[in-house]
Amino acid sequence: MPPDIGELDISQALKGRCKEMGLSIPTSVQIASIPEILQGKNVLAHSPTGSGKTMAFAIPILEKWSSDPHGIYALVLCPTRELGSQIKEQFESLGGTSLRTALIIGGVDFQTQAIELEKRPHVLIATPGRLADHFDTNEDLAKRVFSNLKFLVIDEADRILGGKFDEQLQSIIPRLQSKEKQTLFFTATMDDNLRLLANSMSTKKKLFIYDYYDGKPAGPILDERRLGQSYIFCPPDYKDGYLMEFLRMIKKGEYPERIRSMIIFTNTCKDCQVLGITLNTLGFDNVTLHSRMDQKLRLEALSRFKSSQVSALIATDVASRGLDIPQVDMVINYAVPFPTDYVHRVGRAGRGSQKGFAVSIITARDIPFLAKVEEFIGEKVTGIKISEENVLKILTEVITTKRAATIQVEDSDQFTERAKINERKRKILEDVLSPDD
């Protein structure tokens, strides 16, 4: 029998706010991590998507902060803007009116953020790129503002430490010189980088490691999750027609399960935008979410989806990690991703006691990728039959609509400007690599 939140060694005020947020029974990662963090230990916690990792670090941080509320007490690094916004909301709900937070992410006025940093909020949530920009612009910022930092949290640690943010981390981490700092790593995927980190830190007896999967059957999908996983096989040029026919089946109630909401994942920003416009034009309402969108539009799209104003979100992997979207019934992979990304994507569906479904649209070239996914998750994915006759009836309309959407996207500012930048980079690279005349 898991303990009640009242059994944790935290203040009555914090217990009350936890219960107000619906957290009466702590999850396993919270039961394991909170006491260790309160004892002053560094922690590496590996636990599935939707298992309450944010609360597992927010609760002990706020408990310790309440007895010593000063300056920037905790810094939380996360890989995406949307996840940062969500973490900020949870800290504010738990911390009460006396807690000051700030969000340092791209897409927001730089000078306004610089002013926020100078005000020394108690909890700072940031993406590595934007925080590194502030450090590089203001050389003594870290020494003045972060001198009393007590917690550094690396959320979605496998992604933060996976290489993409190495340059930014090299700018940030050496400048955080507080000797009393605890470092907390939380992740849904334990990769080689984190295993190496665990081995190096645990030899110094400074790191408590919690792994949800210790002693459980192999495979990174939640053992308790009721998740049906399938694929739709189609010819390469027919993919959009098969997707549209499948969505029509769902809309008309011809799919055997009731699907109230879904996320369709694409691998690129351009595919996301084109698919969103195409499906909207064909009568399938949706909102899109990808990194080239203005931040305000990103938050608006996510809000509309989470509040059920629209039932479909077309997104890149910015929506695959950490976001609290509890009502997703189905995830559709427009293209098969790498196995670890697959796990994070399908983790959006069937959370808690809900039944969820994951469907991948595949062509012949995707079969090896699907095999890798099956090997990774430890189970076979079943096929779904789609009427090719019905697909052929709509295929011309779908292809024509997508062609118009592609032209619209390629002419839009958010993509043409990026294309110009890439072209300039290409020319510079050519000049560097070309031998002198």
- Tell me phi and psi for residue 185, to 5 degrees: -115, 125
- Output b/e per residue, 236-245; b: 16+ Cβ within 10 A: eebbbbbbbb
pLDDT along the chain (437 residues), means of 10: 74 87 86 93 87 92 90 93 89 90 89 92 94 89 87 92 88 85 89 71 72 59 65 94 96 90 93 95 93 83 89 89 76 91 84 81 93 89 94 95 91 60 49 46
In whole angstroms, give the CA distance from residue 107 to residue 16. Answer: 35
- Tell me phi and psi for residue 394, to 5 degrees: -110, -5
pLDDT of the residue at 432: 46
Kindly provide the residue ranges of all beta strands, DSSP E only, lying in 188-293, ordered along the sequence: 207-211, 226-233, 262-265, 287-289
pTM of the predicted structure, to 2 decimals: 0.70
- Report the DSSP pairing between strands 355-362 and 312-315: unpaired
What's the gap between Cα 215 and its chain centre?
27
Closest by CA to 276, choosing from 328, 331, 246, 314, is 314
Name the CATH code of domain 226-416 (choices 3.90.650.10, 3.30.2000.20, 2.30.130.10, 3.40.50.300): 3.40.50.300
CATH 3.40.50.300 domain position(s) in the chain = 5-211, 226-416
In whole angstroms, give the CA distance from residue 156 to residue 162. Answer: 10
Burial group, residue 276, by CB count within 10 angstroms (0-12, 13-18, 19+): buried
pLDDT of the residue at 246: 97
| Residue given tokens 């108690």 in the structure block | 122
- Contact call for residues 55 and 186 (beta carbons, < 8 A): no
In whole angstroms, give the CA distance from residue 214 to residue 193. Answer: 18
Retrieve residue 341's tokens.
Answer: 């990304």
Q: Which CATH class is domain 5-211?
A: alpha beta
